[in-house]
Chains A and B, each alone.
Chain A
Amino acid sequence: MKCYTLIFALVMALAAGFGCAKKSAEGAYDDGLTPEMRAAIQQITDARVYFAFDKFDIKPEYKDMLKAKADLLKRYSTIRVRIEGNCDERGTQEYNLALGERRARAAYEYLATLGVNPGQLEMISYGKENPAVQGSGESVWSKNRRDDFRVVAH
């Protein structure tokens, strides 16, 4: 029993040591991120672009959000983002893979047009294979027809 307790304590200690970034006295994190950069990454990844059914054009209401992302990407040129195009469950899988790619490309091209270095961007389509929300109905589908922005390097 004592042995198990010791192992558990060791595992917890290791998890505490490696599981999350710790802030240093200078305000930087030990993963090399400054608070500003961390906030930038948060802003880039948090906001999603949503689409109408079987459409891949960027709606006007998302253009300011993409401009904000573009500004951050230009300011932090080491950040690399994967744009992940997704679809709702209604369409068929092969066509949705193509549609998801068009959605990812739409955001990619818009960011590039705003001056983001294309080398900071990559794309993938998951079609309908990676829903953000499970279930059916327009309230669910509308949340799944989206572009996610994932920081893959910084």
Chain B
Amino acid sequence: MKKFLLSAVLCLFFSSSAGAAMRVDIYGPGQNIVNLALAAPITGPQREAAGMGRNLQQLVEQNLSFLPFMRLTNPKTVLGGTVLAGYEPPNLDFRRFQLAGSDILVTCYWPNGDSGTNAVQLRAFETNTGGRLFGKEYSRVSSRDLPEVADRFCADLLEALTGSGAFFRSTLAFVKKTGTMRADVWLVKPTGRDLRQITNMPGEALSPAWSPDGRFVVFSHIDQKSHALGVWDSGSKKVQRIRFPGNVVIGPAFMPDNKVAVALSNGKYPVIFLLNHVFQKERILEQSDSINVSPTFDRAGTKMAFTSSRLGGPQIFLKDLGTGAVTRVSRNGTYNTEANLSPDGTLVVYSRMTDYGHRIFVQDMITGIERQITYGPGSDEQPSFCADSYFIAFASTRGSGRGIYLTTRHGGEARQVPTGGGQASFPRWSAPAQ
């Protein structure tokens, strides 16, 4: 399965760029749209690949449809068609794609045919200059490798355009509820592929969170008698249930050094504790005479956002872990919870209770400006930033039942992540796989 990946690495010489510098600013307020055309996959000049080539094309199209700043060129609008005489200049006719409004052209070449196990070459060009953005060859590709080839190519393309390919390199952990007090942890790619269940235990799992190294998923686990910290090890595929003195284990989150922060009982109110590497209490990160739950950290581990009722109703606060200073983040509404700090530390996303259900808001920590990014219907909750600090996954009841949806830091139309039925919630991104 992984053989082709090694080959892709060995073929780095092939991925040299011609110096094209097309970039898409997905972080600024005026996010631009990129028009991308996919040339028909070919096995030779004007010879369209109809086997794996066509399947890979469809997978790449599906992947790219998740990028809100990208529009795929309709092949019917390309004069002369998309079956080309070659896969790189000078045998590429960029003009026909320019006329169709395409900014980028992707070619797909199967030098030895597209059946059985073969190599495929994918290249991206800027149509205006003819400059190559990048190219990759994947050797010994069979049909079952195609989804991973598509993900790897799209991750590289996204990285070349925006600086981060994290979206296609990440996996979402989420919870699927199957009854009262019964829910397990599942994994899925944000595109809906590679769906799998990782826990199967009586009781209810909540709040899964990935370790930065991708080895563990921790979660709260509640059964009839107690709360516990669930720990899934991707190496052994086993789950531990770790009890703590007291009554609650709420909202665990990993810090960048692979240590877990979690709200545990400590006297009258839950306190946010830091656990050591063997999941034992190390020290208190935050406490007050009020509820303190749901810690979340930036990539550097210098800031912690959390929910606290210290001023009455629940609000979002930010703690500078260097100085210990705590500042209030959410200033509007009476019920703000479920903060998630962007990995770059510039934004906090959280849900607010409104008269119409919960809605998701983003606050810019530099300007202090708050913006609503979801509008229902139903209730939008549990927002979570991707490692690129751009995509946001959240749970919503806008469809039939509760599902996982994707939006961005700018808001816009939400896209549902296929999770195979059931009530899905608590999406949490992994760090991008290397």
Interface residues of A (CB under 8 A from B): 54, 82, 90-95, 97-99, 101-102, 104-105, 123-127, 129-131
A100 to B69, CA, bound (A): 43
Q: Among B181, B207, B225, B291, which residue has the most Cβ atoms of chain A within 10 A?
A: B291
> B227 contacts which chain A residues (CB < 8 A)?
97, 124-125
- Set of chain B residues within 8 Å of A92, measured between Cβ atoms: 337-338, 351, 353, 358, 381-382
B263 adjacent to A98 (CB under 8 Å): yes
B337 adjacent to A94 (CB under 8 Å):
yes
Main secondary structure of the interface of A (DSSP, over half): mixed
* Closest B residue, CB atoms, query A105: B268
CB-contacts of B274-298 with A (<8 A): 291, 293-294
- B248, B251, B353: residue with the most chain A Cβ atoms closer than 10 Å: B248
Contact B265 A101 (CB under 8 A): yes
Residues of B contacting A94 in the complex (Cβ-Cβ under 8 angstroms):
206-207, 220, 250-251, 263, 293-294, 307, 337-338
Say yes or no: is B421 at the interface (Cβ < 8 Å to chain A).
no
How far in angstroms is the closest Cβ of chain B from A146? 15
On whether the beta carbons of A91 and B225 are closer than 8 Å, the reply is no
* Chain B 242-254: CB-based contact to A (< 8 A → 1; otherwise 0): 0000011011000
Least Cβ distance of B246 to chain A in Å? 9
Q: In the complex, which residues of chain B have a beta carbon less than 8 angstroms from the beta carbon of A82? A: 225
B341 to chain A, nearest CB (A): 15
Most buried by A among B269, B270, B338, B358: B270
Contacts of B208 in A (CB 8 A): none
Chain B positions near chain A (C-beta within 8 angstroms): 180-181, 204, 206-207, 220, 222, 224-227, 247-248, 250-251, 263, 265, 268-270, 291, 293-294, 307, 309, 313-314, 335, 337-338, 351, 353, 358, 381-382, 425-426
Instruction: Determine if B314 and A126 form an interchain contact, defined as CB atoms under 8 angstroms apart.
Output: no
Minimal Cβ-Cβ distance residue in A for B226:
A124
Q: Which A residues lie within 8 Å of B265 (CB)?
A: 101
Give Cα distance in the complex from A129 to B182, angstroms: 9
Tell whether, in the assembled complex, residue A129 and residue B381 are in contact, meaning their CB atoms are under 8 Å apart: no
List residues of chain B with CB within 8 A of the CB of A91.
Answer: 335, 337, 353
Q: For A105, list chain B residues within 8 Å (CB).
A: 247, 268
CA A125 – CA B294 in complex, angstroms? Answer: 16
Q: Could you tell me the dominant secondary structure of chain B's interface residues?
A: strand
* Contact, CB under 8 Å: A95 / B337: yes
Query: A123 — nearest CB in chain B belongs to which residue?
Result: B247
Taking a contact as CB atoms under 8 Å apart, the answer to whether A129 and B337 are in contact is no
Q: Are A97 and B204 in contact (CB under 8 A)?
A: no
B263 to chain A, nearest CB (A): 7
A84 (CB) vs chain B CBs: closest residue: B224
How distant is A141 from chain B, measured CB to nearest CB, in Å? 13
B250 and A97 form a contact (CB under 8 A)? yes
Query: What would 13 A/B residue contacts be, using CB atoms closer than 8 Å?
Result: A54-B313, A91-B335, A95-B314, A97-B220, A97-B293, A98-B263, A98-B270, A104-B247, A105-B247, A124-B222, A126-B181, A127-B222, A130-B180
| Candidates A95, A98, A129; contact of B180 at CB < 8 Å | A129
Contacts of B204 in A (CB 8 A): 129
B317–chain A nearest beta-carbon distance, Å: 13
Instruction: Please measure, in the bound complex, the distance between the C-alpha atom of A90 and the C-alpha atom of B425, giving whole angstroms.
Output: 15
A110 to chain B, nearest CB (A): 13
Q: Indicate if the CB atoms of A93 and B225 lie closer than 8 Å.
A: no
Which residues of chain A have C-beta atoms less than 8 A from B251's C-beta? Answer: 94
Given contacts A82-B225, A124-B227, 6 further A-B contacts (CB under 8 A): A90-B353, A94-B207, A95-B294, A95-B314, A102-B268, A126-B181
Q: Please, how many angstroms separate the alpha-carbon atoms of A92 and B353 in the complex?
A: 9
Chain B residues with CB under 8 A of A123: 247
Contact status B181-A95, CB under 8 Å: no
Q: Which of A95, A104, A126, A127 contacts B291 (CB 8 A)?
A: A95
Q: How far is the CB of A104 from chain B (nearest CB, A)?
A: 7
Q: Are A101 and B337 in contact (CB under 8 A)?
A: no
Q: Which residue in chain A gives the minimum CB-CB distance to B203?
A: A129
Q: Judge whether A98 and B250 touch: CB under 8 Å.
A: yes
Q: Is the CB of B338 within 8 A of A129?
A: no
